[in-house]
Structure 1
Amino acid sequence: MTLRPIRLPSLDALLAFDAVARAGSFEAAAAELALTASAVAKRVAGLEERLDQPLFVRQPPRGLSLTPAGHEYLPQVRQALALLQAMPLHQRAGPRRERLRVSSTPTFARQLIVPALPGFTAAHPHIELELTLSVPLLAEGDAGADVEIRHGAVPDDIAADQVLLHDRLTPLASPALLARHAPLQTPADLLALPLLRTPLQPWAPWLAAAGLADTPEPDDGPRLVDLGLVLAAALASQGVALARLSLARHELAEGALVQPFALTVPAERHYGLVMHRPSPAAEAFANWLRNHCQGLDGAENSSGAR
């Protein structure tokens, strides 16, 4: 048995045939396809030649009408075109999104970046932000990150112009913990409570400012190598945290933590933004984060912190 050769028409010819069948004339189909009427007529004629079948009856001036073969062929063509149009790769893509990978210390990401992210997304819908976490003291940030939020000393770990926040430190405790002890009248009374410790933030600067410079660093309890863990322990009434006001502002506003003393001291280590791979997306994120942090600095300063 001899197989008949397959006579596949061009996609352009099939689209022209479908358009002419709907529009009823070469001129109307040409307007739809952004072609000339002559070009549409040639495509249809080429299709008829390949099929060896007339698909339209030319009836000037009344226009075109389908032949029996055309009536039979049209639903098959439309089904094939519908399948092609349904394929995701054939659909017109929207505006290309620019990916941006940001590495941040965990607490800064959870307390400062994530709550404000809807504002960044609304302002920059074309940027696909991927936020990863670094490990304080144990490792540097994500090597593949475009932008890194780093916690360190100035100018050893971060440059002065990279600083995002000029944080202030103060003791914070849960109301439940304070209720279990005698009322705190002076900073010295704080020494009767468990003081949470972390290598990221020693108590010495605040104790010195409070007139307690001879007090050694606390050495009881777990050593928490993450500022977020220190806040979590304070919220669980395990001890008093020496905390950054910027990181604990939500807990203070909700009353989950309270500030026993008005005394604050400037943080010796800072959060800084380091740009590893400059790009329009990285610049947009950096500008947004700087503005966000400036607002936090302003709110903290206006709250009477000293």
Structure 2
Amino acid sequence: MRPMHAPRSLRFPSIEGLRAFEAVARLGSFERASEELHITASAVSKRVAALEEHLDTALLVRSGRSLSLTAAGKEYLEQVRAALELLAAVPLHRRGPAARTRLRVCAPPTFARQILVPHLQDYTEAHPDVDLEVVLSIPYLDPGTMQADVQVRHGDATAAGGTLLMDDVVTPMASPALLGRLPPLRTPADLLGAPLLRTPLEPWAPWWAAAGLRAPEPTQGPKLVDLGLLLEAAVSGQGIALARPTLARHWLASGALVPLFALTARPSHHYYLMPHAHNGAAAEFAQWLHSVCARVVQEAAALLPAADVSSGKP
């Protein structure tokens, strides 16, 4: 097929001008046309005026706030509508769904439930083009088997080559119901005779050392291999938990859990981010998560007894 060449004397009007004219003629005002076209009424008026200048023909009769078509405008409108319908029928002119970026985030269960998910709406509202998927890692399974764009892990950040997310502390906490059944706990040494909850994910050793006590890990009671389960057990009065205020914020705020001392210690393990892409959705999510964790640490510190909670000293 031989290419069609337009005569040199032929000058096409702009598509924007044609659309503006058709919308004004159909809706009867610049204001209504502006709402449909998502531009100002002034811009609509200028586009129609430019079209009339291009054609050297008046298309509208402007009388105050009312508009009507001239005889030439009525005839031209039918031609414009037919042309716009033809253009709209071209498949390449139809805009497909907006491209979305897939982002898979993997995090430990309690971190995901207590820190990530409660703040997730802020991220999704700010990034509507990101198709976010959150999956949970399982303690003691090889985290390297989890395929994700952003990975939050719990352990030794330095050994794994990760970036620390939160400079956490741990402190003993218990439910008021349990404390009502126990003798007064006035000093850290009083805990040695109290029911202590245990988990390999949060050993008591760092806090014993901060308290100047030589004490072993608890050996009695069920072993909870999940920090969320540890907190739930403490809330239900089953024992005293060595826990992170960052994970226990809403229970501390409601009074369901009570910190027993002003003494805190740095935990054996920390939440950290594994290396990820330096740009794109992964980098933006990581930056957002760092800001969330910083706010969470501040909120948690405000729920502890007035003391130097960052130094680990009573």
> What is the CA-CA distance between 1:265 and the residue it aligns to?
0.6
Distance 1:172 1:92, change over 3 A: same
Residue in 2 that maps onto 1:176 = 177
SS in 2 for 1:197: coil
State the 1:274 CA deviation: 1.7
Partner SS, residue 103 of structure 2? strand
Matched, 1:147 2:150: yes
**Alignment counterpart, residue 123 of structure 1, candidates 126, 131, 136:** 126
Q: 1:241 to 1:28 in 2, by over 3 A?
A: same
Structure 2: which amino acid aligns with 1:190?
L
Q: Write the letter of the residue equivalent to 1:28.
A: L
Structure 2 residue 159 is the aligned partner of structure 1 residue 156: yes
Counterpart-to-counterpart distance in 1, 2:82 and 2:108: 55
- Measured in 2, the distance between the counterparts of 1:158 and 1:194 equals 37
- Give 1:99's aligned residue: 102
Distance across 1 between alignment mates of 2:174 and 2:254: 13
Q: 1:176-195 deviations in whole A, cap 9, x for unaligned?
A: 11111112111111122211
Contact conserved, 1:177 with 1:238, CA < 8 A, in 2?
yes
Task: Give CA-to-partner distance per residue, 1:162-212, whole Å, 9 cap, x none.
Answer: 111000000011111111111211111112221111111110110121121
* Distance change in 2, residues 1:146/1:154 (3 Å): closer
Tell me if structure 2 keeps the 8 A contact 1:167–1:267.
yes
Say if 2:210 is the partner of 1:196.
no
State the TM-score, normalized to the length of structure 1: 0.69
Q: In the aligned structure 2, how far is the partner of 1:142 from the partner of 1:26?
A: 68
| CA distances 1:233-267 after superposition (whole Å, capped 9, x unpaired) | 11121111110111111110011110011100112
CA–CA distance in 2 between the matches of 1:233 and 1:283?
36
1:95-114 CA-partner distances (Å, limit 9, x unpaired): 32211100000010000001
Q: CA deviation at 1:301?
A: 4.6
**SS of corresponding position for 1:247:** coil
Contact 1:104 1:141 in 2 (8 A): no
CA distance in 1, matches of 2:176, 2:152: 32
- Structure 1 gap segments, 5+ residues each: 1-18, 44-83, 85-89
Query: What is the SS of the residue equivalent to 1:112?
Result: helix
Partners in 2 of 1:139 and 1:243 — Cα distance?
A: 24
Matching residue of 1:242: 242
Q: Is the 8 A contact 1:158 1:272 kept in 2?
A: no
User: What secondary structure does 1:251 align onto?
Assistant: helix
Q: 1:28 aligns with which of 53, 69, 77?
A: 77
- Superposition deviation, residue 270 in structure 1: 1.0
For 1:203 and 1:190, locate their aligned partners in 2 and report how far apart those are by CA, in whole Å. Answer: 11
CA distance in 2, matches of 1:137, 1:257: 28
| Aligned residue in 1 for 2:231 | 231
Q: In structure 1, what is the equivalent of residue 135 of structure 2? A: 132
For 2:297, give the aligned amino acid.
Answer: D
Deviations 1:55-76 (A, max 9, x none): xxxxxxxxxxxxxxxxxxxxxx
Q: How big is the shift at 1:141?
A: 5.5
CA distance in 1, matches of 2:82, 2:110: 56
Q: Which residue number corresponds to residue 208 of structure 1?
A: 209
Q: Is the Cα–Cα contact under 8 Å of residues 161 and 275 in structure 2 kept in the other structure?
A: no
CA distance in structure 1 between the aligned counterparts of 2:255 and 2:159, rounded to whole angstroms: 36
Give the whole-Å Cα distance in 2 for the aligned partners of 1:142 and 1:277.
18
Aligned-residue offset at 1:31: 2.6
The alpha-carbon deviation at position 91 of structure 1 amounts to: 7.7
AA aligned to 1:194 is P
Displacement after TM superposition at 1:276 (Å)? 4.0
When the two chains are superposed, the root-mean-square deviation of aligned CA atoms in Å is 2.9
1:170 and 1:206 in contact (8 A); partners too: yes
Q: Contact 1:177/1:239 (CA < 8 Å) preserved in 2? A: yes
